[in-house]
């Protein structure tokens, strides 16, 4: 019983520290804090639920930036503030990523989705979206890494694998 209490306390401390690091934008530090604790702590929860990310907004034509509406910009700002207040809430991060893409903040969307992977683990849809976003930025090596991971995941749907394969072919050219 005492060992379980120690593990629970260790996990709470690690989560608290990770949330602090995530809120301040120090993603690597959050990984360093949480990963060793998670590796030592047996999971007592059900496996993470599958995330359903909305389809990304169509990309602006090459060389152009999206022109967000006032409502989109306001929703983005609200979602950004919510992501600062709840940096480990999967729904908040997914919503922020969706709005960030709509207003053209690709780096912000990538940051939110990478935090989501820290929280949720093996989510091929998230890896696919990260691959697509890195592809849009022109970072083909990072895109290929995420797209390959999405394609190879046993949790990936047929549609996810096909879309990852399509972008992988374009990224490898």
- Flag whether 1 is in a domain: yes
pLDDT value of position 153: 94
Q: Report if pTM > 0.85.
A: no
Statement to judge: residues 26 and 11 lie in one domain:
yes
Q: CB of 106 within 8 A of CB of 133?
A: yes
- Looking up tokens 């691959």, which residue turns up? 131
Mean pLDDT calculated for residue range 62-86: 85
Is the pLDDT reported for residue 109 higher than 90? yes
Position 170 in a domain: yes
Residues 31 and 21 in one domain: yes
Number of H helices, E strands in the chain: 8, 0
Q: What range does the domain containing 5 cover?
A: 1-40
**Of the given ranges (22-26, 106-110, 124-128), which has the lowest mean pLDDT?**
22-26
Has residue 34 been placed in a domain?
A: yes
Number of domain units in the chain: 3
* Cα 58 to Cα 91, 132, 163, distances in angstroms: 21, 12, 15
100 occurs within a structural domain:
yes
């Amino acid at each position: 019983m005492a060992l379980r209490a120690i593990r629970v306390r260790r996990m709470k401390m690690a989560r608290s520290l990770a949330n602090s690091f995530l809120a301040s934008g120090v993603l690597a530090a959050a990984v360093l804090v949480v990963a060793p604790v998670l590796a030592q702590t047996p999971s007592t929860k059900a496996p993470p639920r599958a995330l359903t990310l909305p389809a990304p907004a169509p990309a602006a034509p090459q060389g152009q930036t999206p022109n967000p509406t006032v409502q989109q910009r306001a929703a983005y700002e609200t979602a950004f503030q919510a992501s600062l207040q709840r940096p480990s809430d999967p729904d908040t991060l997914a919503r922020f990523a969706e709005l960030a893409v709509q207003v053209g903040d690709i780096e912000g969307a990538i940051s939110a989705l990478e935090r989501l992977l820290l929280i949720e683990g093996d989510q091929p849809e998230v890896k696919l979206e990260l691959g697509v976003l890195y592809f849009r930025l022109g970072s083909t090596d990072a895109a290929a890494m995420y797209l390959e991971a999405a394609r190879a995941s046993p949790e990936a749907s047929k549609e996810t694998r096909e879309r990852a394969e399509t972008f992988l072919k374009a990224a490898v050219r």
